[in-house]
Chains A and B, each alone.
Chain A
């Protein structure tokens, strides 16, 4: 996706140089409009998330920046992550929702698709992103990812290897789990 993202701006810049300065004027105007539209989108998402009342997920913007949210997800029942709760950070780009937000685990998560820095390998957060997704669907997807990892392309090879032994895996989760302060 990163490449795709880069292509977009490049395409825009090329015509600008080719045509005239008038194109340059349109760009900043478009950006301000985008910012407003992004704000509206994020506000409506927040409203929808607060009203949905989905169990096990929550998110709220940081103090002064609506482009940075803090979210929490709890491990689903009947999974090795049951009873655990994880904190995530969501950073929305200025061209959200056309680009996916950056989602990271703030809480250490022993998971095949989460590296030691909390980066998440999830298709919908990369090349499978769709502007139709929102914070709620992202958090639900991450929550479901916990119980259904993709061990074929792991970021955490140890976790991927241990996934076959759920009892041992559960012990590792409990051992490495550091509750949210």
Chain B
């Protein structure tokens, strides 16, 4: 489960930044209050766990879902403790914190998404089912992990709680905890760029956790959302490049998800290295988790969430189509749309470009094409086709006279048109 959440985050996040936004919106409206309550609770749990438990212990606990169950009792008592601890943390750790917090947020969001999607997707059901089975217990393992990680981690988890609903929360926490606990978790520091906004939220939450004021927590959520949006924008630029690499990893992750947590952390490392500059990815990944089942395939052209920045194949095809249309337009004017032979782009006599009228003008059966100006000039002289030296039709000679007289010019032109259609 945990690995799944992590893996999914990375890949899915990159692919669908827009969806993540929507998810956030949903989360805001529906479960803000619920999330807030959860966050406060979880924050307290994390703090308590962190204080009491050694990091060494935490790692094995994280690895095992069952171990998580144990930690459940601890958090409630330690709520006050937790609030104090995060404040004490040194600034150096902030970067890591923010990254972790972000990861946690992503995980939580992802979990929410998953829960929403559960009914629709069978694959997700499995992951969710685990989370559901654990119920509150599963939450605890998250807490344990967070404690093990750092005090800062507590805040992010709180965020997770906020976003997550019950079972999905568990998934998030697992995925978060695994990266954090594992040595690879340091790679998450890459996320530090996002950190500023996240940290702020975290601090606000910590304060809120102590005071349990819903307003503060809500503010934290908003700030988080904002930071996420910014990140998403950044991701849009990079996501295309990462998409290919991530696609493979995502598939693997999905396969491994039900398996042990161990698989997930290494995957995260790989992903983190790939994303490098793209700190945003992990958060997005969390968002994308619900998408994962769908993500196996690349963007479909008709996908509503498909980024507009993606090259549109249909556009490429449009060019030849347009050119064909233009040619067809020229044809009807003269009624000789499909005259045989290739149409030169320029008049072989004067080297001027042939317009639609000229290109559809076929004065001689031999197929030699020329512009109307050169044709008229030749008619005024020997009236022989440059291509075959044959005299142009008598109609042409008559037309010449007509032009000289300036009288029945239009009628003559009509005749020439009929001739063309014959050819």
Contacts and interface: CB of A to CB of B under 8 A. Distances in A.
A98 B368 contact: no
B348 to A, nearest CB: 6
Contacts of B270: none
Indicate the member of A12, A97, A131, A132 with the most B CB atoms within 10 Å.
A131
A44 B351 contact: yes
14 contacts: A8-B381, A11-B380, A15-B404, A37-B351, A37-B352, A40-B350, A40-B352, A41-B349, A43-B351, A98-B374, A130-B387, A131-B386, A132-B368, A132-B386
B380 A132 contact: no
B89 to A, nearest CB: 74
Nearest to A39: B351
A4 B384 CA distance: 12
Given A40-B351, A128-B389, A130-B384, 11 more contacts: A37-B352, A40-B352, A41-B351, A44-B351, A98-B349, A98-B377, A130-B386, A131-B374, A131-B378, A132-B349, A132-B387
B386 to A, nearest CB: 4
Interface in B330-382: 346, 348-352, 368, 374, 377-378, 380-382
B384 A37 contact: no
A18 B382 CA distance: 22
B44 to A, nearest CB: 82
Nearest to A45: B351
A10 B360 CA distance: 32
Given A130-B386, A130-B387, A131-B386, A4 B381 contact: yes
Indicate the member of B377, B382, B389, B404 with the most A CB atoms within 10 Å.
B382
A41 B371 CA distance: 13
Q: Which 3 A-B pairs have the closest CB atoms?
A: A132-B386, A44-B351, A131-B386
Indicate the member of A7, A12, A43, A130 with the most B CB atoms within 10 Å.
A130
A43 B382 CA distance: 25
B382 A97 contact: no
Interface residues of A, number: 17
A130 B351 contact: no
B349 A131 contact: yes
Contacts of A97: 349
A94 to B, nearest CB: 13
A8 B382 CA distance: 9
Contacts of B380: 8, 11-12
A89 to B, nearest CB: 23
A122 to B, nearest CB: 15
B402 to A, nearest CB: 13
Nearest to B405: A15
Contact of A132 (B348, B352, B377, B404): B348
Contacts of A4: 381-382
A15 B387 CA distance: 29
A33 to B, nearest CB: 9
Nearest to B389: A130
Contacts of B381: 4, 7-8, 98
Interface in A109-144: 128, 130-132
A1 to B, nearest CB: 9
A12 B348 CA distance: 24
Interface string A55-94: 0000000000000000000000000000000000000000
A37 B387 contact: no
A7 B381 CA distance: 8
Indicate the member of B349, B351, B386 with the most A CB atoms within 10 Å.
B351
Interface string A3-26: 010011001100100000000000
Nearest to B388: A130
Interface string A137-174: 00000000000000000000000000000000000000
B355 to A, nearest CB: 15
Contacts of B389: 128, 130
Given A130-B386, A130-B387, A130-B389, A98 B351 contact: no
A90 to B, nearest CB: 17
Indicate the member of B352, B380, B381 with the most A CB atoms within 10 Å.
B381
Nearest to B404: A15
A132 B352 CA distance: 14
B302 to A, nearest CB: 47
Contacts of A131: 349, 374, 378, 386
A130 B351 CA distance: 15
Contacts of A98: 349, 374, 377-378, 381
Contacts of A7: 381
Nearest to B349: A131
Interface in B260-298: none
B270 to A, nearest CB: 53
A131 B388 CA distance: 11
Interface string B67-81: 000000000000000
A162 B346 CA distance: 46
Contacts of B404: 15
Contacts of A15: 404
A119 to B, nearest CB: 23
Nearest to A99: B381
A43 B346 CA distance: 14
Nearest to B377: A98
Contact of B350 (A8, A12, A37, A128): A37
A88 to B, nearest CB: 23
Nearest to B384: A130
Contacts of A130: 384, 386-387, 389
Contacts of B378: 98, 131
